[in-house]
Amino acid sequence: QVQLVESGGGVAQPGGSLRLSCAASGRSLGRHTMGWFRQAPGKDREFVASIRNYDANTVYADSVKGRFTVSRDRAKNTAYLQMNSLKPEDTAVYFCAATSRHLIISSMSSNRMYDYWGQGTQVTASS
């Protein structure tokens, strides 16, 4: 079992930055692919970014490419989502997720591939 706890959410002005953290306990994150998803009010949960377990390959949604960066620190057993140039449409609850499956690139964006989920953290981009 893996327990995930997100932190770092809050309010930022459009154009500003936030960094989300996802701390894991129970097992080493080094064996897991980590994903970030978000859900805005009245909308379905959507993929944001992912970093693969065995080669650190990354995948991003088109809407965040060039603005967001996903990373991990094996020593701290923590994954991160650095969010720059925030836009009002980035406002949502952000969730981290993990899976020990070996995913192909095209599967990394599917929420059905992830077995463990955090409770979510609110991000609001507003002036």
Residue 102: CA count within 13 A, CB half-sphere: 2
Percent of the chain past pLDDT 70, that is, above it, reads 99
pLDDT for 112? 95
**What would the pLDDT profile of 8-67 be if each residue is shown by its tens digit?**
999 999 999 999 999 998 877 677 899 999 999 999 999 999 999 888 999 999 999 999
pLDDT for 111? 95
Question: Minimum mean pLDDT among 20-34, 37-51, 88-102, 103-117: which range?
Answer: 20-34
SS3 at position 107: helix
Residue 72: CA count within 13 A, CB half-sphere: 30
CA nearest to 122, candidates 83, 73, 79, 85: 83
| C-alpha dihedral sign at 39, 51, 3, 18 | negative
Task: Name the phi and psi angles at 66, rounded to 5.
Answer: 90, -15
* Residue-level length of the chain: 127
CB atoms within 10 A of CB 85: 14
